[in-house]
Each structure stands twice: as structure tokens, then as C-alpha cells.
Amino acid sequence: MNLKEKINLDKLPRHVAIIMDGNGRWAKKHGKPRVFGHKNGVTAVRETTEAAAELGVEYLTLYAFSTENWSRPQFEVNALMTLLVETVRRELDTLNKNNIRLQAIGDLKKLPAKTHKALLDGIEKTKNNTRMTLVLALNYSARWEIINAVQELATKAADQTIKPEDINEEMFANALSTKGIPDPELLIRTSNEQRISNFLLWQISYAELYFTPLFWPEFRKEHFHEAIIDFQNRERRFGKTSEQIS
């Protein structure tokens, strides 16, 4: 029985989020520049997107560029931005053929104009697709997102559109950039780092965390399947006892 057949399709996580890490170290291991790692990371993005869609996962969120990533060497930042434009443009037909909708979270207005434009174009041209939503986190930081939400709600409270005591989890979640997207149930991080790095802090409250030593450019469909099987073997209790959930 291959790995995929071990997956219970009735117990899939609706939303999987991934911190794609280790492109630079993978390139170094092969004696190549860091950008070579990012380019090969695109193959892993394609494989993972296909694997998630084939299984029936509804949302896949990929951490592609954090707010902190701007402090990398200018050359690397430029290369990443160009790679994003090229990838979004090149994969557009495949996304449409596979009925996959593209979305993005983060402070998108601060992206270079070309990247921003390619992204908005991709989002617009795939907006009616229904099989799976691929969310790219770009210039994203969870603390930025939370502060943004607080400002939005504080403004509404100040002009009396809402009362402070009306603020609840649902209202807060609706002020985040992930509005309308269910919380990730599984968070994967590659490259042996066991950190969250300012990613989806509010949304991963109950997510299962899965760490793999593989560098992101090495990540393939079977590794995604392994992560799903691991997720399905865990007992998710949400604060209850084992007896209460069985």
C-alpha cells in the first residue's frame, strides 16, 4: 500500500499552512548561490499544491516572503520578487486547468509594482475557481496583521459603529487578512527549524505542528502525504479529555 492510500480522505485538514524553509542551506549544500535554492523551491511549491488539491484539501497557505525578509541582501530580495512574478504568470494556466483559486495575505501594497500587479492579475483570473484556494503569504507578518485588526476595530469603536464589549473572537477573526478562511489545522515547517516566525499567530491556536528535517526544495508529494498521515494519527482534544472525544 503506498502512502497516499493510507490517508483517510474523510479526516483531511481543511487548511494546511507551510513555512517553506531551507532554500539557502539546500543551495549551499550543492555549492550553489542561494537564489538557486529559491528557484528549486518552486518545484516543491508545484508538487505540494498538486498533492493538496488531489487529496481534497480546501486551503493551502504558503509563507513565501515575510516582512523580515526585506533585510536580506538586495540582490536576493530582487531575485525572489522576480521569481514570484514569473511563477505566478507561468502557473496561471495550470491553476485554471486545475480549478485552483489564488489568494494572497500580507501588506501587498508595499510589494514592488510588478510583483503586486502580477499577483492581483493572478487573483482576478482565478477568482471563480472552486477546487482549492492557494494562499500566498507575501510581505506578511502576524503581528502586523493583528495590529491592523486592532486599529480597524478601535476606529469602529471610536466612531461608535461597534461597542468595545461586542468585540469577540469572530469579529476579531473577520478583521484579519484571513477573513473567511478556516484556521489551519496543520502547520508544516521544513529544514529542522522549530519556530513559528511570526506566521498566522492568531489562526494556529489549535493547529497541529509538523516539523521535517527536509529542506524546502527537497519537499515532494510523498512528504506532504507523510505529514497528513502524521496529522491523522494525532488525537486532537481541544482541551477535552480522551474519553470525551472518543
Q: List residues near ligand FPP by CB under 6 A.
A: 20-25, 38, 41-42, 45, 62, 64, 69, 80, 83-84, 87, 136, 216
Q: Which CB atom, from 25 or from 236, has the smaller least distance to ligand FPP?
A: 25
Q: Which CB atom, from 79 or from 149, has the smaller least distance to ligand FPP?
A: 79
Q: Which CB atom, from 83 or from 196, has the smaller least distance to ligand FPP?
A: 83
Q: Looking at the chain, list the stretches that DSSP marks H as alpha helix, in order from N- to C-terminal side.
A: 23-29, 34-55, 74-97, 113-125, 142-158, 169-174, 221-232, 242-245
Q: 61 with 105: CB under 8 angstroms?
A: yes
User: Is 69 among the residues known to form the active site?
Assistant: yes
Amino acid 210 reads: Y
- To ligand FPP, the closest distance from the beta carbon of 46 in angstroms equals 9
Count CB neighbours of 237 within 10 A.
11
- To ligand FPP, the closest distance from the beta carbon of 30 in angstroms equals 12
Grid cell in block for residue 128: 471563480
- To ligand FPP, the closest distance from the beta carbon of 128 in angstroms equals 21
Q: For the chain, how big is the Rg over CA atoms in Å?
A: 19
Residue from 2, 10, 69, 183 carrying the catalytic annotation:
69
61 phi, psi to nearest 5 deg = -110, 130
Q: Rounded to whole angstroms, how far apart are CA atoms 19 and 68?
A: 14
Q: Rounded to whole angstroms, how far apart are CA atoms 74 and 65?
A: 14
Residue from 8, 10, 21, 107 carrying the catalytic annotation:
21
Count CB neighbours of 201 within 10 A.
14
Q: Which CB atom, from 7 or from 63, has the smaller least distance to ligand FPP?
A: 63
In DSSP terms, which residues pair with 16 in a beta bridge?
Answer: 60, 186
Q: Which CB atom, from 41 or from 106, has the smaller least distance to ligand FPP?
A: 41
User: Is 98 among the residues known to form the active site?
Assistant: no
- To ligand FPP, the closest distance from the beta carbon of 171 in angstroms equals 31
Grid cell in block for residue 213: 528535517
Grid cell in block for residue 224: 506532504
- To ligand FPP, the closest distance from the beta carbon of 4 in angstroms equals 23
What are the residue numbers of the active site?
21, 69
